[in-house]
Structure 1
């Protein structure tokens, strides 16, 4: 997205990449990858890199395990107080608090620490050694919260970040999506809380005054989009996906504040029609701001110069305020009745659906604005609870502390001992014996024997001290479900049959077989494939990948390994094979 002038992090020198490629070899294949490209940015990248013909692959932008919430930023003291309250409701959970100033990182980190939260500040003003130590402490579960400027985050792939808080509104939706996306990477729920005040927008606008006109206009447009997101009363998930060119397909997600606390709806069928008519009357040549001024009949310089004040629709919406008309235009865009032309700096156009609406109107209802401060903080937090049963937060913290100490004792990463989902199961079902532990997801008989004893001892003592009625006592244990293929695969590996031959025998591709083998070891079964590695992989490559999982990895993700080892010319297949070896020898 740095290639595109419409991207949130445009760098002009990146426009020369195509020229550099041509100077080497015009036939070099090109792959362009980004996680935050709007449709306009995508087309601009393709055009600038001269990728013709081109295949475009887009996965969903929807992070369905993230909960989105925006609260008003009333004042500094109140906001910091709310942050402390929010963090304190999730003891032992790790999270990131993003702020824009270095001074604020230090201040908020100190206040969190005083309130019993293990927190540190991180910003570009710290020396490299200190930054590295803070980052390592965060990745190694020594820190609960890191309070950081945007200098923190790139390349960070900690799977169990449970919350991301923005003390200041980000500069663009792309930044917001990227930063909130660091939460919940293990698939469990993450909470994304943002504090919003228009004063923060005014501060950002001051920084743009000395920028070139084109950069200033684009930055202003990006800020308008994040303002619209913060102020919207519709589903936040739908808003985000629409921005990136994806249709959510639902009216509500149930995982954002606007869906969990819906506002009263009002009929705006008439006003929606007027909004479309106003766009047409102004020749589809103006932004939302100009259209709102026109609707309210404001006597601005532009209204007089362009003689808009002489038009029949001028002031037609003067009985409703500015916020109301902004909502009307934004909902019209979200519902595809109007279209915002990004390339022309946000000019509003009427879509085909909008023209059809004028010919045959249908009832449109939108939520009215709600006072965020009327919602109790405790309600917001508890109603956004994670998926699953009644997780014991106190026990969960004790288990994480034990995992950390056991990881140090065994000289392995915390996730190698037990994964976050495994700990959550333990804190929900209270296994008090090794056979009980075998019922926990991701815990095999071997893993239970290797790491389980101190955990069941801790849980048993906790259950007895607190007189807990264990959910596991009422759970019907299931027989392990191993398909015929799975049994055949395991038996074939025991007989040291080559993997490509096994794939052929069970009618799988090699890729599918490796995925199956990784799922088998994830479930706790040991698979000794050394015979295959010895014949098919370089010993140094095996050692390098194994050492990565053992020493550097923050989780067992194949994708993370590929990213970290990309300079070593290592393939996905090689990483999957060595991961099977690692999980068998160390994790299981």
Structure 2
């Protein structure tokens, strides 16, 4: 038996996509690839979507759910993210709910009753709930618009956040043969992508990939030296901004949070060891701008959709570049300038490597070790941070970004043609079967048992690189990886392999300039240009912006929702610049839909008129 939607809600299925985009979501235009993805899913096609954090992934399943008959099922591992999205959707007039372990029995029954009655456009479900046999049987009796699997990297053993309960989701494709499936992730290297597609049975899905680049985020890495002092120096000019500080352990989280609170910051700890009620209260105060800084464990994800996070600090080193990318991506989701600071110490690498060796299978330890090496390579890089980060995710950035510490304070450069040829030739001579350390040992003429075991002391490249230290060669090899001349094959114990780019360099058809290795770089930010202000407004506009923020906070508190659910900072800034004087002009502001116009238009238009005098 199938149910249909009640007649009273507006039917979006026959309306143009642009109408729904503007009227419901308050957006004037689609972002790159969004419309293609949405039309493909509406047409019944499966899709695999790679899109950066803050790039608009949610719209790729939310809007199709409104244009297809039935209820859209969204599978998400993060209860807090479910709540954020449901709050934002209901504020836009969409019938959305969530079904997870946080609900009491009465609320859970109410949600299931709405689902069976066809009264929901979207239902967010935790993976362990959706795979219960009775729940799947219930869904099979209903009309399902689509199934969206968010954070799809969780299905893959190659992913940075593998979850066994996610791997079981592959069975859903067979349970709903006529329903379009869409898998979405912001963090997946090429190996992880193939695994996702295979596990979920989406080999026939159309693949969409937008750029992973978040140009509004400035990446900075400092060698860890008196980290509390470094953190204070960074935060001193950011007392009015909202941010997240990540630390490695629960103990460190609590120590840093207490330190910041003692220094006058509105900071609180957030980790898995705290009572659920306390974690929930901390998150709610953060979302509602009552708490400026949350200090959280690196391992415990903050699945939040708060758009005005202006900075993310990693007090300790993450284990994976995917985690680093995802966590830094929680800054600047509104597209306004944001900063990501990483404090890097070699002792962090040693501690993380020791933890890796203590658990998991041999395969998992190998994967984790490779990912940790890539993370350390990013931190130690002397080339554009963004090029390193995007290159790891399989995207080649043609030019330096101009918005990272390496670009803003460039290292000394040198003609590395001869050094690069030595490396590439050595990789070739060892038949592309060995990793970075072994290749460097050959270059430096190591007399180790392992070198003799493989007969590599007889190679023409043995000992031709004694002019550089092991640390210097490590920097050179990593730069060659970042520049695309070499790749590390994670499926084969991270062995180095030549890419097609290496051919011209080996043949002497081109030269290469690299950053001169800096074995130790003093911590600090001398010569570093200040980041742009988060919202660039003149004095009159800034006064109006503060007045609108105050109004937004009052309305949000009255309604019991985070301020950004009313309007985001980017929408307020546009109001300050455009000064809308009537409903039609107000509706043209990006982020203002029909429902928000009806609910809040009068109050904001009055505040704007008062500011005009």
TM-score normalised by structure 2 residue count: 0.67
Change in CA separation of 1:396 and 1:204 when aligned onto 2, cut-off 3 Å? farther
**C-alpha offsets along residues 55-77 of structure 1, whole Å, 9 cap, x if unaligned?**
10111101010000000012xxx
The separation in 1 between residues aligned to 2:343 and 2:369, in whole angstroms, is: 20
User: Following superposition of structure 1 onto structure 2, how do residues 502-517 of structure 1 map, counting pairs within 5 Å?
Assistant: none
SS of the residue 2:185 aligns to: coil
Q: Which residue of 2 aligns with 1:477?
A: none
Q: Which residue of 2 aligns with 1:106?
A: 254
Q: Which residue of 1 aligns with 2:17?
A: none
Residue from 521, 539, 543 that aligns with 2:587: 521
> 1:332 Cα deviation (Å)?
2.0
SS of the residue 1:33 aligns to: strand
**C-alpha offsets along residues 216-258 of structure 1, whole Å, 9 cap, x if unaligned?**
00000000110110000001111111111112221x2111000
Q: Which residue of 2 aligns with 1:359?
A: 507
Find out whether 1:7 has 2:191 as its counterpart: no
SS of the residue 2:182 aligns to: coil
User: Following superposition of structure 1 onto structure 2, how do residues 19-168 of structure 1 map, counting pairs within 5 Å?
Assistant: 19=171, 21-22=173-174, 24=175, 28-74=179-225, 78-150=226-298, 153-168=301-316
Q: Which residue of 2 aligns with 1:441?
A: 577
Change in CA separation of 1:91 and 1:394 when aligned onto 2, cut-off 3 Å? farther
The separation in 2 between residues aligned to 1:56 and 1:307, in whole angstroms, is: 45
The separation in 2 between residues aligned to 1:282 and 1:116, in whole angstroms, is: 57
The separation in 1 between residues aligned to 2:580 and 2:508, in whole angstroms, is: 62
> 1:380 Cα deviation (Å)?
3.6
Q: Which residue of 2 aligns with 1:245?
A: 394
The separation in 1 between residues aligned to 2:184 and 2:414, in whole angstroms, is: 43
Q: Which has the higher contact order (CA 8 A, sep 6+)?
A: 2
Q: Which residue of 1 aligns with 2:73?
A: none
SS of the residue 1:85 aligns to: helix
* 1:422 and 1:443 in contact (8 A); partners too: no
Q: Which residue of 2 aligns with 1:313?
A: 461
Change in CA separation of 1:376 and 1:229 when aligned onto 2, cut-off 3 Å? closer
Higher share of residues assigned helix? 1
* 2:504 and 2:510 in contact (8 A); partners too: no
| RMSD over equivalenced CA pairs, Å | 3.1
> 1:2 Cα deviation (Å)?
2.0
Change in CA separation of 1:368 and 1:399 when aligned onto 2, cut-off 3 Å? farther
> 1:187 Cα deviation (Å)?
1.0
The separation in 2 between residues aligned to 1:443 and 1:413, in whole angstroms, is: 24
Q: Which residue of 2 aligns with 1:267?
A: 415
The separation in 2 between residues aligned to 1:323 and 1:162, in whole angstroms, is: 35
* 2:307 and 2:568 in contact (8 A); partners too: no
> 1:333 Cα deviation (Å)?
2.3
SS of the residue 2:207 aligns to: coil
Unaligned runs of 5+ in 2: 1-152, 606-613
TM-score normalised by structure 1 residue count: 0.70
* 1:336 and 1:351 in contact (8 A); partners too: yes
Task: Give the structure with higher Rg (CA).
Answer: 1
Higher mean alpha-carbon deviation, 210-219 vs 175-184, is at: 210-219
The separation in 1 between residues aligned to 2:298 and 2:367, in whole angstroms, is: 20
> 1:392 Cα deviation (Å)?
11
**C-alpha offsets along residues 366-390 of structure 1, whole Å, 9 cap, x if unaligned?**
1123488646447547356557467
The separation in 2 between residues aligned to 1:167 and 1:410, in whole angstroms, is: 36
The separation in 2 between residues aligned to 1:391 and 1:145, in whole angstroms, is: 27
Residue from 363, 369, 380 that aligns with 1:220: 369
* 1:340 and 1:346 in contact (8 A); partners too: yes
The separation in 2 between residues aligned to 1:225 and 1:109, in whole angstroms, is: 29
User: Following superposition of structure 1 onto structure 2, how do residues 291-440 of structure 1 map, counting pairs within 5 Å?
Assistant: 291-370=439-518, 374=522, 376-377=524-525, 379-380=527-528, 382=530, 386=534, 388=536, 402-403=550-551, 406-407=554-555, 414-415=563-564, 419-421=568-570, 440=576
Change in CA separation of 1:66 and 1:25 when aligned onto 2, cut-off 3 Å? closer
Change in CA separation of 1:369 and 1:286 when aligned onto 2, cut-off 3 Å? same
**C-alpha offsets along residues 335-393 of structure 1, whole Å, 9 cap, x if unaligned?**
32223223223211122221232223322111123488646447547356557467899
> 1:419 Cα deviation (Å)?
4.7
Change in CA separation of 1:396 and 1:381 when aligned onto 2, cut-off 3 Å? farther
Change in CA separation of 1:405 and 1:362 when aligned onto 2, cut-off 3 Å? closer
Q: Which residue of 2 aligns with 1:475?
A: none
SS of the residue 1:195 aligns to: strand
> 1:417 Cα deviation (Å)?
7.4
Q: Which residue of 1 aligns with 2:112?
A: none
**C-alpha offsets along residues 567-587 of structure 1, whole Å, 9 cap, x if unaligned?**
xxxxxxxxx654554454665
Change in CA separation of 1:240 and 1:142 when aligned onto 2, cut-off 3 Å? same
**C-alpha offsets along residues 430-450 of structure 1, whole Å, 9 cap, x if unaligned?**
xxxxxxxx8x23643369xxx
Find out whether 1:283 has 2:283 as its counterpart: no
